[in-house]
Structure 1
């Protein structure tokens, strides 16, 4: 194929998942012409839209989607979050009423978010190249050259990596940890659901989350059950009745009996993070930090990355923006990485420490300022500097 060259882009975004799409839409919203932004993705749009995975959007992420015209979308609101330790006293309950919000967050499909953001990007006139992969990237002087696997060569002032993949398929970054867990994901129904309440239940093997997500199929919750790899394989292979019984034993009876489950998938869990950047390239979202799914912070942290980077690139699409981005995102990234890493490890196992941690949840529930602070970190990230809802700034 004859090589084609294009030299008109301010920003090239590698990866058109929710974070890459959000960055493109925010850049256009901030004043960069759509034709000067290019999105490159290996998957056809239809593949991404049909992705059935459930994801949790924090309230701050909803505000970002509103900013670019990608909200409302089909989603189930989370009004309260119940956190507990299986077999130990103590629990904490966070409720939207304490924050005077419509919801603490939302549960939706990955494909729904991609669809809404793709329409916003299309309306902004952003160029999208898919399916295509970046075969090589070369940074030289005043631009970055990207060679695609279809023979095209692009250049841009800045290239942004927004395609991270999942832990186990990535090269190790500076901060990496294998948790020795797999997440079993599915959707389930119960006999006594509590509408709009999410659960984070810590067990000896790892956290078990149930996120409210009503569907036409009658299934009411998205399940994320973190267990050892051998246990995950066993849970996937079990007959439905036995799986539901095992799930009921692990979670307890707060929602009655588990009555149905969808197909079960599993993937390995780990921490893999590095604030990677060069003079004209930078990684955001999952490409910069892959986290344990406890507390559902990965995508929301990535969307905050996109918000800050869009604001800075709109002011100056070059090296200065990348340097400032790393500075402004450092504290929020550090806090969320430390929070999820600590939660993923501290609550695993048995013994006296788990009783102490259970009592810690009770203390958290009794001390409103501490509970409020934790909820706000989960909804908005760290409130310092410009990390908090930066896309609202001028």
Structure 2
């Protein structure tokens, strides 16, 4: 007796930005929408209310344009100022050198998933949400997916399953490359007395990088510090917190005058290929990175773009093998670059002098700035 064909060609577990981008790209490349299952535990409305800020590279904009999900409400980054607190040397990357409208953009998670949800809707992709994936069983010829929806359990089958739901570091199954950085990221929106329009800042301190990304008339703050410092900072009132922020960042933006509710989460690296013949991972499900340089989402969208191109040729194990091979270089370079920046340049070691000298050299040598900017915008190509 012949086995029944699978319910779907491709099931995507996780309808965040990477998962929805993959689904829309598949249809763009002529995969029938009814052969795609897009599964997520949250409703689109719940995801759309997520206020977190995201850094989008120019290369990510190109991917979003391909599926009609651009423009999204976002603030353009024209310059990126990189420096080390208390050390000589800094570098400025400017859009003018690359003849682009922007080096990147700062948007909100909710705004991006709203646009991607609309793109999936236009493409005819019917998402299963809210639905919780409770188990995956890889079998000869297909994968069985246990799903709980509206309190009822059922099993779906697909030729290929793509994991696109990563979660936070510390809540994930350990991969082959795992490192706890001993840092906590404090995120918030802050206002300053002398903002510089469209300029982003990456400021290295003794405890970790401090990023300020322009967003509307405010800045999206990602401040990486030791856990005990984070606990202390979260306990301060707004005025005391802003004073501490000013002492850590300096006076390039004047004084800090306002802050939103502060959130915190632990930072670590969790990466490494864990795919199988019929299952692959993209985005945070494949690699959770330190937020330095803002590469996590952009790397995930590049994953989606390559995987969509291959699966459009056939939802088969051979295509997944090609995917892992093609993504190895970009993933490895981005993982090791962010890991090095997070570890080597976030302490009081002699390497901090090297950082200052390196930034000064990069600023004086145009080709070095171009290489760094190309990596940040497009990854390894």
TM-score w.r.t. length of structure 1: 0.94
Deviations 1:61-82 (A, max 9, x none): 0011110010111000000000
Q: Residue 264 of structure 1 is aligned with which of 262, 265, 270?
A: 262
Contact in 2 for aligned 1:192/1:256 (Cα 8 Å):
yes
Contact in 2 for aligned 1:201/1:207 (Cα 8 Å):
yes
Deviations 1:114-166 (A, max 9, x none): 00001000111112101111111111111111111231211111000000101
Deviations 1:76-117 (A, max 9, x none): 000000000000000000000000000000000011110000
2:324 match: 326
1:233 match: 231
For structure 1, the 5+ residue unaligned runs are 384-394
Q: How many residues align?
A: 375
Matches within 5 A, 1:110-259: 110-150=109-149, 151-214=153-216, 219-259=217-257
Q: What is the deviation of 1:274?
A: 1.4
Q: Which moved more, 1:20-29 or 1:131-140?
A: 131-140
Contact in 1 for aligned 2:6/2:159 (Cα 8 Å):
no
Contact in 2 for aligned 1:160/1:281 (Cα 8 Å):
yes
Q: What is the deviation of 1:310?
A: 0.2
Q: Residue 302 of structure 1 is aligned with which of 300, 303, 328?
A: 300
Q: What is the deviation of 1:356?
A: 1.9
Contact in 2 for aligned 1:6/1:154 (Cα 8 Å):
no
Q: Which moved more, 1:299-308 or 1:344-353?
A: 344-353
Q: What is the deviation of 1:237?
A: 1.4
CA–CA distance in structure 2, aligned partners of residues 270 and 353 of structure 1: 21
Q: What is the deviation of 1:47?
A: 1.1
RMSD: 1.1
1:360 match: 358
CA–CA distance in structure 1, aligned partners of residues 367 and 132 of structure 2: 47
Contact in 2 for aligned 1:286/1:302 (Cα 8 Å):
yes
2:377 match: 379
Which SS does the other structure have where 1:315 is aligned?
coil
Matches within 5 A, 1:79-90: 79-90=78-89
Which SS does the other structure have where 2:106 is aligned?
strand
Which SS does the other structure have where 1:149 is aligned?
strand
CA–CA distance in structure 1, aligned partners of residues 378 and 135 of structure 2: 35
CA–CA distance in structure 2, aligned partners of residues 146 and 339 of structure 1: 35
CA–CA distance in structure 2, aligned partners of residues 232 and 24 of structure 1: 38
TM-score w.r.t. length of structure 2: 0.97
Q: Which moved more, 1:245-254 or 1:138-147?
A: 138-147
Contact in 2 for aligned 1:55/1:107 (Cα 8 Å):
yes
For structure 2, the 5+ residue unaligned runs are none
Q: After the TM superposition, which segments of 4 or more aligned residues of structure 1 sit over 4 Å from their partners?
A: none
Q: What is the deviation of 1:353?
A: 2.4
2:12 match: 13
